[in-house]
């Protein structure tokens, strides 16, 4: 069976969605709400935090609106995928990561028992005064979205025609 571009994107998306939901299920089963498990003291821990907003808890308590935005983003990305290097394997990977990540958080937002995103990966540094400075908690879906967007930026930068220059045109008459 030959894998088409759409099938490759779908496989990546399904793998991301499955891994995201599996890890969130583990968090639900092994960490109570607001509980933490330090893995590397002063650097990394698993947490069980909820997020009704977007990245960094922006737009907090707007779960329904963010679910609609997510559905719209999925539709727009799918319909415009040919503009995002979907003919290349790297473009298919990027779009698959985006689709899977968006769907992973969307499942959380639409889940009737939760209606929020579960974040559980937390990197931090202990301060001398006992406090912590940390990066906002995130999950597998968030990671997939960030990696997918990063890959798309790299691909668009590499394919930018203005970056290509004719070596002869840079020679100045002397």
Catalytic residue among 20, 108, 142, 160: 142
Indicate the burial class of 80 (C-beta count within 10 angstroms; 0-12, 13-18, 19 or more): exposed
The dihedral over CA atoms of 156, 158, 160, 164, expressed in degrees to the nearest 10, equals: 180
Distances (CA, A) of 40 to 45, 92, 95, 118: 7, 35, 33, 21
Catalytic residue among 64, 119, 129, 160: 119
Residue 142 catalytic?
yes
DSSP state of 116: S
The token pair that represents 86 in the structure block: 């979907």
Catalytic residues: 119, 142
């Amino acid at each position: 069976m030959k894998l088409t571009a759409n099938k490759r994107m779908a496989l990546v998306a399904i793998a991301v969605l499955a891994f995201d939901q599996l890890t969130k299920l583990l968090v639900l089963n092994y960490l109570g709400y607001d509980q933490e498990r330090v893995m590397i003291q002063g650097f990394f821990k698993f947490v069980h935090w909820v997020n009704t907003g977007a990245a960094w808890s922006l737009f907090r308590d707007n779960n329904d609106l963010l679910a609609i935005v997510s559905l719209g983003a999925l539709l727009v990305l799918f319909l415009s995928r040919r503009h995002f290097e979907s003919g290349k394997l790297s473009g298919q990977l990027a779009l698959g990561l985006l689709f899977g990540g968006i769907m992973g958080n969307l499942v959380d937002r639409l889940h009737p028992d939760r209606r929020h995103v579960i974040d559980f990966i937390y990197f931090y540094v202990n301060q001398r005064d006992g406090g912590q400075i940390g990066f906002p908690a995130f999950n597998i879906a968030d990671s997939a979205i960030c990696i997918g967007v990063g890959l798309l930026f790299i691909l668009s930068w590499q394919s930018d025609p203005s970056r290509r220059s004719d070596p002869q045109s840079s020679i100045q008459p002397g």
